[in-house]
Structure 1
């Protein structure tokens, strides 16, 4: 719970990371909103972001009245009506309107106005598709994402920079630096997830999404020697993994506790970036070895692991939703409550 007289950007970032695991998340939301309303933010321009955080917490905790109130206050607090930071608040407002019943037209108006952001804002694909899904419009999300991808690829082709990206077996697309890939990458990845949820057949753009993910992971691996993925190795599988592929200690952690902590922190980071509907994907050493064998590659190679991660994440049965409720069984399968096991690991 916020206790400081003045909240800094760092305080808001910490609350975004930890609020849902607090004993009283709605109390955190109320306190953050109060700080914004009373001018107790170090940077007054953070008022919109603080109120959006309050709206997000209230929406997740099924308090639609509070979520709608905070979202409206957030939108009023942004310096201008077209402030790009306001997109998430609009999307949250639309989600509440969908769930309120009888206000679908209002919700769609909110989201339709945000649609151009798909071409310029890397987090827009995630929050727009999440809002459309809340309204039972995942097919609309797929259409919007597909048309945005076509637009960006068309612009690149017209500029003479992406003809190879459209036709080549191994496309070359400018992703930006490994830690900050471009808008096209996020569009393709979100479209890929939406199509998988809709059980649509794999198409050329899905192939491109897989290849770009592999390319990005390879580059990140070259830069850092390891990459963050959401493969989860249950305890017995983790022990076998390090026994057979000791080099992967640097990637997945020196022990199972460290492995679970890395995943928990990565999930919290993605939540802070606006991602929704997160989960981990249960992996097996036999599966990784088989995938590497089919590709004639080394299981320890970053590109092979990225390909295996993509294969596993396409199986609904492998997905473990995150986060559980504080008092529910932990996602890692330890048998302990989440609040007693992996939740505190994100803070270590």
Structure 2
């Protein structure tokens, strides 16, 4: 099953969501591997991700030999990288090894991943899923409990661990630990209570972030805004490229969270100044949020996303697939 040329990371994310429902998912997996080998990726740095996705598809259809070949190629493609994607690939390899009866080898591979539990938020899900696949539920509970204790020890000076800047990582550990304890029939404990508090706190934070102003500053207006109010660089980026990349990533994230009908609100220095009036400060987030709401209630919004071959939403005149679409990566 051939895929379109120049696959971006956003395309790979879309394939991840839809491949298992395709008429020929194994064909999708083979095409992903072909794209890697034939230079069919917009960014060759996505090779590991594409091959890991191919391995996941093959494993879901119990083609374990092909899945193992794909994931080992993915790990080779990642090379010396050390991040959550690499941890996911290595944990997937261990899960496949369990399923092929190579339990000791799988356990050894996961032992090497234990430090990742307190470094990468998603690692708790990857590693615990692999252990569960191998019937090592109690080992998973022990490892996650130890990781939680380590994470809490690092926050010993904080009056409330839920207030830590990296509370999200702690929540992932607690969440996976709670799931494993439920599988084992273990009782609710103090760490499960903390997980519930963190879930509430993170949900409140996400809701607050969703209310941040989605202003888009066309290039000339961006330059004027930063020249007049340099402090705005902290909110909108130090360059127009950084500003566009932030918006593209945020809109992609909102789409992944189920949001539809997304638009960009093109702002102007003159418009923000008028909205602020004589007493308001245009650099004040509250003033800018109010300006964004006024734009959202009127015409001139830019629908997002455009078609891949249509002109980009940013007004550069280039095709979306060659302009801001690749900015969603990172």
Specify the TM-score bucket, using the shorter chain as the normaliser: 0.5 to 0.7
Q: Deviations over 1:297-318 (max 9, x none)?
A: xxxxxxxxxxxxxxxxxxxxxx
Q: Which residue of 2 aligns with 1:131?
A: 130
Distance (whole Å) between structure 2 residues aligned to residue 81 and residue 222 of structure 1: 33
Equivalent pair of 1:71/1:93 in contact (CA under 8 Å): yes
CA distance in 2, matches of 1:216, 1:42: 34
- The offset of 1:174, in angstroms, is 2.0
The 1-side partners of 2:118 and 2:256 are apart by: 29
- Of residues 156, 167, 173, the one that matches 2:163 is 173
1:37-94 C-alpha deviation (Å, 9 max, x unpaired) = 2222111111111100000111112110110000111111113164552111111111
Instruction: Give deviations 1:249-284, integer Å, cap 9, x for gaps.
Output: xxxxxxxxxxxxxxx9759xxxxxxxxxxxxxxxxx
Q: Distance in 1 between matches of 2:210 and 2:149?
A: 32
Taking the TM superposition and a 5 Å limit, the aligned residue runs for 1:271-290 are none
Q: Does 1:144 align with 2:122?
A: no
Contact 2:84 2:122 in 1 (8 A): no
1:207 matches 2:193:
yes
Q: Which residue of 2 aligns with 1:196?
A: 182
- Whether the 8 Å CA contact 1:45–1:79 is kept in 2: the answer is no
Aligned equivalent of 1:68: 68
Match of 1:112 in 2: 111
**Whole-angstrom CA distance in 2 between matches of 1:185 and 1:212:** 6
Residues 10 and 220 of structure 1: is their aligned pair in 2 closer, same or farther, counting only changes over 3 Å?
A: closer
Q: Residue 22 of structure 1 corresponds to which residue in structure 2? A: 22
Secondary structure of 1:215's counterpart equals: helix
Who wins on radius of gyration, i.e. which is larger? 2
TM-score by length of 2: 0.61
Aligned residue number for residue 89 of structure 2:
89
Mapped to 1, the partners of 2:143 and 2:162 lie a distance apart of: 24
Counterpart of 1:240?
none
Please list, as runs of the form range in 1=range in 2, the aligned pairs for 1:147-296 lying within 5 A after superposition: 147-157=146-156, 160-161=157-158, 164-165=159-160, 172-174=162-164, 182-224=168-210
The answer (yes or no) to whether the contact 1:8–1:41 under 8 Å persists in 2 is yes
Distance in 2 between residues matched to 1:221 and 1:15, nearest whole Å: 28
- CA gap of 1:266–1:2, structure 2 versus 1, over 3 A, is farther
Instruction: For 1:17 and 1:10, locate their aligned partners in 2 and report how far apart those are by CA, in whole Å.
Output: 11
Equivalents in 2 of 1:108, 1:49: separation in Å?
A: 23
The 3 A distance-change label for structure 1 pair 83 and 153 is closer
Answer yes or no: is the 8 Å Cα contact 2:84–2:123 preserved in 1.
Answer: no
Distance 1:223 1:90, change over 3 A: closer
The DSSP-based 3-state class of the residue aligned with 1:200 is: coil
Task: Give the Cα–Cα distance (whole angstroms) in 2 for the partners of residues 57 and 137 of structure 1.
Answer: 23
Unaligned runs of 5+ in 2: 212-254, 259-330
**Contact residue 59 and residue 92 of structure 1 kept, 8 A:** no
Question: Structure 1 residues 224 and 41 mapped into 2: Cα distance closer, same or farther (>3 Å)?
Answer: closer
Q: Work out the CA distance in 1 between the residues paired with 2:10 and 2:162.
A: 37
